[in-house]
Structure 1
Amino acid sequence: MDRTFQVDLRGVVDLLSHHLYASPRVYLRELLQNAVDAVTARRATDPDAPAGITIDSTGGTLTVTDTGIGLTEEQVHELLATIGRSSKRDELGFARHEFLGQFGIGLLSAFLVADEVTVTTRSATGAPAVEWVGRADGTYRFGPAERAEPGTTVTLSARPGAESWLAGPTVVELAALYGSMLPFPVTALGQRVAGDGPPWRQDQRPAGERLADLVGYAQDTLGFTPFDVVELDVPQAGLTGVAYVLPFQANPAERAGHRVYLKRMLLTESADGLLPGWAFFARCVIDAAELRPTASREALYDDSLLEETREALGERLRGWLVGLAATDPARLARFLGIHHLGVKALALHDDDMLALVDEWLPLETNMGRMTLGEFRARHGRIRYTTTAEDFRQLAAVASAQGLAVVNGGYTYDTEIIGRLPALDADLVVQRLEPSDVMTRLSPVDPAEELALRPFLTTAQRALDRLGCEVVLRAFDPPALSVLYLLDRDAAFQSELKATRAKADQLWAGVLAAFEKPAEDRPQLVLNHRNPLVRRVCALTDPAMIALAVEALYGQALLLGYHPIRPADAALLNRSFLGLLDSAVPKEDTP
């Protein structure tokens, strides 16, 4: 036997308020939406019909009156009392995209703030006026009404605890928030809150005045003065609007807050996914006719059209950047000083942006800050470090040996340097390894090194337990006493040993298979041109040699920003206290 579903309206309202809508404030948006659809439907058949919406609130009672197409008695029974059927959508013969409402649940949002909703309406077809009163318990009554002109009036009386949502200041604020860009007059408590359309509308304003209006909108609505304004237009989505370039650095991990309108009605103030991920330096305000909302009308439905729109908006911003490079290099430099991360992220995938970064974005090098283009012109091949720590350690030594090095340790820099051959196929890009620097360091005179063999043997014995090799070289600058060189293989082996020490017997055996011979150890390079090192080399007391070499080892770790292991921390403490004990006279010493 077939039966009909029974709907518990109070349960549906509870579902809407707790799971579909983020806040009860959407009730006014839904009432405005219905009124806008009614006005749109009437003007489609009668372009000269009056268009306007009036909102009043007094004593906990709210009324929303429109000059729209109205409803007949049959339509009231069919549409207002049927959940899930969008009013005036198909029954009045219009395609769905002509109207804001798409899910037939908008009027139910009124029950978020009221227990009773009264709809007084008169159809533009000339049918008599009727009144429909719906209650939150799922019942309604119907009867004739007095209304002279076509249109609809919706009346709400606040339920206990919801009076603040129907208070005058709140109503004006919500009406301005949701309906400020509607193309016909909307009046809330005597204040006009809409009717002029969006600030980017095409009209007879001079270009300077139009730009001032766009900047003023950002100041008033978004709270900042934009670095620049980029106008947007995506015909396939019926989209127009602007992208405001932020005047301050944005966090790529933060959710972007784009302001989205659908057919001039505010959808959300914090839409994400509207722009590509790299474009986090811009905030958009757009109006679209073809993009689809979710059922709650508080977000955009992520479909193929939204993906196409996202790509088109990204292309527009990319074009703006390329154009800025060609027309206003000084302004581009200011932009890059603020939003270099976004541009570098785009350069990872876009050759035009890569060329822009190559020509305009200065990077840190051991020869001073310069662009990659300038670096290539001066030094030919590009040598780079992959971490800022390696750069800090090797920059001065490499410079003294005539090696120009780029610091690739900042976000995206290493990846961008690796892509440079896409611009110049003959370019040689080479990662600078500590072993490359080692080959540039001059060996000590053989006779002198032979004389220092006892010292080196004692020093090596002191650092053997730390897995470090002691090497003596002569290099510039003389002020640098020591270097700690750790290439990729040695770093891997060091990490492998530390992990093996913590693992159980089974995994320790597995990890042991990856260990290599001891020649992959890190190197502590003593600079024989440094006066302090030469004095240390002259020591003969094994205990003092061990303390001095351990102290130099600790200094090298700190100067190179290397991680300090527990064994290294103990060594630093021991060498410091030992040297201090040797330097301070004992109590019985005259």
Structure 2
Amino acid sequence: MSTETIEFQAEARQLLRLMIHSIYSNKDVFLRELISNASDALDKVRLAAYQDKELGAETDDPHVELVPDAEARTLTVRDNGIGMTRDEVVELIGTIAKSGTAELLAKLQEAGDGDQARELIGQFGIGFYSSFMVADRVELTTRKAGTDGGVRWESDGEGSYTIADVADAPQGTAVTLHLKASDAEDQMHDYADRSVVRRIVKTYSDFITWPIRMTPEAPAEEAEDGENATPEPETLNSMQALWARSQKDVSDAEYAEFYRHVSHDWQEPLETIRLAAEGTFEYQALLFLPQVAPMDLYMRDARRGVQLYVRRVFIMDDCEALVPEYLRFVKGVVDAADLSLNVSREILQQDRQISAIRRRLVKKVLSTIGTLRDEQPEKYATFWEQFGRALKEGLLSDQDNQETILGVCSFASTHATDAPTTLAAYKERMKEGQEAVYYMTGDSRTAIESSPHMEAFRDKGYEVLLLTDPVDEVWVDAVEGFDGTPFRSIAKGQVDLETEADKEKAEEQKAEFAGLCEWMAGVLSDDVKEVRVSSRLTTSPACLVGDELDMTPTLEKMYRAMGQEPPKVQRILELNPSHPLVTGLRDTQAEGASDTLAESAELLHGMALLAEGGELTDPSRFVGLLSARLQNSL
């Protein structure tokens, strides 16, 4: 027998320390987590045995067994499921290979103890490690179905664990907790007490579809014929799948515990969604919207999708074919009636029934979000804060539901600083004669609101959407409009906010400044494609705008941050004909151009670039010119 002592991975060690020192107040949930793991193992062995008839797995009596021992102060959770190999034990228990581990630990260190830290733990999901909240030492014995040799793992949760080969391990996994000393005054949390175990299972795991049995307390009394009667294990759970029960027969608490089971989240769901269909395609679905986004929501290697069952038989976790990527935060179960039990992920991508179910699920989730927006604004605000950015990805990937997604989205706007607005509400407030939904993208609300592009819109009372999410830079170019009204960037193209009298004056100014614009276009030919008189400026001397199809400066920055150098975009410099600096340039240029005047044009372009948060091509030259100009003015 080969025995090794192995150090925990650093991240695992830190998380174990948090669990040992009781970061989570409700320690009862450790048993829920262990039973959930055992249930998953039973699901997997039944599927593996169906797919591989030569596997040799034992599937006659799949169950979870609980063995509390008050005298020895232990509690064992045993299943006869899929089990693990030695390598899988090291990988799954000794290491945390999840996305977002480093970010989690950094935030935990900031949070310290208390509710915030517990919420962060809940976002991550660390089921097995919760054992150390109640145990001084944990032993795990396991054998992978279809193999001969077993493995024993043991640790006190401090710095290392031992792992050894064992020859006589049964199929499945047994976790034995050597419980911490119990508080005599707190019998509700004595986990070697059978009544406590019974209560916890009924509270947290009643819906588990496999029998959860507790071994008899003591040998049965001698029967009348003199032989010992065989003690019967007690089955603790009802084994009724929640999605198959009538909605009126399921409590909110039961939904909450089922959500925790399928999501490995420690909180209650924000919203529960039930869906069923009969006829050509029969299925039942029980879905949930979480309260808090998981750590890996925006990470490429994050797992997504809902659990797929066929006639109550587990098929797979994370069935991506049922949920589009922009709804990857949705958790839950879909139970289809007519799929093959041997279906693969590849087949699911092409399956007509799966496609039909997916369309129904998407429409139901989006309609539920719309209902939250209309009827439960506080819940909707929580949802949008956590998942709005992900949902907007659907504007690019889901053309069929684009209008619906737009309808349930919210956006910051100049109308209010404390709450975002829907597009429907924006349209109700549009000024008479306004023909577009105005927006501007940027790094932050502050940057957009202080932009020169906002001046005329603010002056004339036009509402502008303030779009600051990275995805906003992309979808605004892919979506034509909302409910027949087009979107229009206030930082691109021409702006038409003038009255007829304003337009006449603008034509006069255009002619009046034509010479200056032509001259400046020549001086700045390396940087701008055109210089023209602006109708969008009221206080700033100049601003830079793009043509309708030009890439925005923020999008250019995003490409550079990803290591890609975008093609150079020459933009348009607009001049404020009412600003003294611009009229002074016009008058001086009319008298004859000079090197000093060319430097002034260069400075004006640099000021416009900085005003929008852009980056100067040659900052040292700009500072030198500005310093010289300031010195001459003293």
Q: Which residue is equivalent to 2:435?
A: 381
Distance 1:319 1:486, change over 3 A: closer
Matched ranges for 1:293-372 at <5 A: 293-294=341-342, 301-302=348-349, 303-324=351-372, 327-328=375-376, 331-341=379-389, 344=392, 354=403, 357-358=406-407, 361-365=409-413, 370-372=421-423
Q: Secondary structure at the match of 1:524?
A: strand
CA distance in 2, matches of 1:27, 1:219: 18
Match of 2:156 in 1: none
* Alpha-carbon distance in 2 for matches of 1:546, 1:165: 83
Alignment correspondent of 2:259: 218
The change in CA–CA distance for 1:270 and 1:179 in structure 2 (over 3 A counts) is: farther
- Assess, with a 3 A threshold, how the Cα gap between structure 1 residues 217 and 37 changes in structure 2: closer, same or farther: same
Q: Write the distance in 1 (CA, Å) between the matches of 2:47 and 2:574.
A: 76
Give me the whole-angstrom Cα distance separating, in 2, the residues matched to 1:547 and 1:558: 16
Q: Which has the larger radius of gyration?
A: 1
For residues 531-581 of structure 1, what are the alpha-carbon distances to aligned partners after superposition, in whole Å with 9 as ceiling and x for unaligned? 44456667688333222221221121233355x5xxx613x4323212314
* Cα deviation code 1:51-72 (max 9, x no counterpart): 988799xxxxx99999xxxxxx
Percent pairwise identity: 14
Q: Does 1:114 align with 2:149?
A: yes
**2: CA distance, partners of 1:283 / 1:199:** 16
The structural deviation recorded for 1:275 is 2.3
Query: Are 1:486 and 2:573 counterparts?
Result: no
Query: Does structure 1 residue 527 correspond to structure 2 residue 576?
Result: yes
SS at the partner of 2:175? helix
Q: What is the aligned partner in structure 2 of residue 197 from structure 1?
A: 239
Q: 1:447, 1:322 → 2: CA distance?
A: 48
Give the secondary structure class of the aligned counterpart of 1:110: coil
With the length of structure 2 as denominator, give the TM-score of the two structures.
Answer: 0.50
Q: Is the 8 A contact 2:214 2:235 kept in 1?
A: yes
1:464 aligns with 2:512: no
Within 5 Å, which residues of 2 pair with 1:486-525?
A: 486-488=546-548, 522-525=571-574
Q: Structure 1 residues 291 and 223, CA, compared in 2 at 3 Å: closer, same or farther?
A: farther
Instruction: Provide the residue aligned with 2:306 in structure 1.
Output: 258
1:551 matched to 2:594? The reply is no
Q: Is 2:301 the counterpart of 1:242?
A: no
Residues matched between the structures, number: 420
- Any idea what SS the aligned residue of 1:112 has? coil
- Listed as ranges, the matches of 1:95-244 within 5 Å are 110-114=145-149, 168-169=174-175, 181-182=208-209, 184=211, 186=213, 195-198=237-240, 200=242, 210-219=251-260, 221-235=264-278, 239-244=283-288
Task: Report the residue type matching 1:484 in the other structure.
Answer: L
State the partner residue of 2:495: 437
Other-structure match for 2:483: 420
> 1:113–1:292: structure 2 CA closer, same or farther, 3 Å change rule?
farther
- The CA deviation string for residues 264-303 of structure 1, in whole angstroms up to 9 with x for no partner, is 56544433223244432311134555443448x9998553
Change beyond 3 A, Cα 1:114–1:475: closer
Quick one: distance in 1 between partners of 2:478 and 2:550? 23
Q: Give the 3-state SS of the residue equivalent to 1:169 in structure 2.
A: strand
Question: 5 Å matches for 1:36-51?
Answer: 38=60
Whole-Å Cα distance in 2 between the matches of residues 38 and 160 of structure 1? 24
Is the 8 Å Cα contact of residues 510 and 533 (structure 2) preserved in structure 1? no
The one-letter amino acid of 1:374's match is A
Paired AA for residue 541 in structure 2:
S
Residues 27-66 of structure 1: matches in 2 within 5 Å?
30=45, 38=60
User: How far, CA to CA, are the matches of 2:317 and 2:205 in structure 1?
Assistant: 10
Q: Does 1:397 align with 2:456?
A: yes
The CA distance in 2 between the partners of 1:268 and 1:112, in whole Å, is 22
Cα distance in 1, alignment partners of residues 236 and 340 from structure 2: 23
Gaps of 5+ in 1: 1-24, 40-50, 57-61, 67-107, 116-157, 422-426, 493-510, 512-519
Q: Is contact 1:179–1:266 with CA below 8 Å preserved after alignment?
A: no
Please give the per-residue CA displacement for 1:415-440, whole angstroms capped at 9, x wherever unaligned. 5552522xxxxx56666674422895
The CA deviation at 1:524 is 2.1
1:279 counterpart residue number: 327
- Paired with 1:244 and 1:547, the residues of 2 have a C-alpha distance of 61
CA separation of 1:403 and 1:550: change in aligned 2, threshold 3 A: same
| The 10-residue stretch of structure 1 (440-449 or 273-282) with the greater mean CA deviation from structure 2 | 440-449
Cα pair distance change 1:301/1:443, threshold 3 Å: closer
Aligned twin of 1:542 = 594
Check whether the contact 1:362–1:371 (CA below 8 A) recurs between aligned residues: yes
Contact preservation (8 Å) 1:245, 1:283: yes
* Contact 1:244–1:282 (Cα < 8 Å) also in 2: yes
TM-score, normalized by length of structure 1? 0.54
Once the two structures are TM-superposed, the CA of residue 243 in structure 1 deviates from its matched residue by 0.8
Contact 1:484 1:522 in 2 (8 A): yes
Compare relative contact order (CA 8 Å, sep 6+) and give the higher one, 1 or 2. Answer: 2
Q: Does 1:573 align with 2:620?
A: yes
Q: Distance in 2 between matches of 1:488 and 1:186?
A: 68
* Alpha-carbon distance in 1 for matches of 2:235, 2:586: 84
Mark the runs of 5 or more structure 2 residues left unpaired by the alignment.
1-39, 50-56, 68-76, 82-142, 151-163, 178-200, 218-232, 553-566
Contact 2:440–2:491 (CA<8 Å) still a contact in 1?
no
What SS does structure 2 have at the residue aligned with 1:557? helix
Query: 1:471 touches 1:526 (CA, 8 Å); kept in 2?
Result: yes
Higher deviation after alignment, 209-218 or 340-349? 340-349
Report Cα offsets for 1:53-110 as digits up to 9, x if no partner: 8799xxxxx99999xxxxxxxxxxxxxxxxxxxxxxxxxxxxxxxxxxxxxxxxx963
In structure 2, do the counterparts of structure 1 residues 203 and 395 end up closer, same or farther at CA, with 3 Å as the change threshold? Answer: same
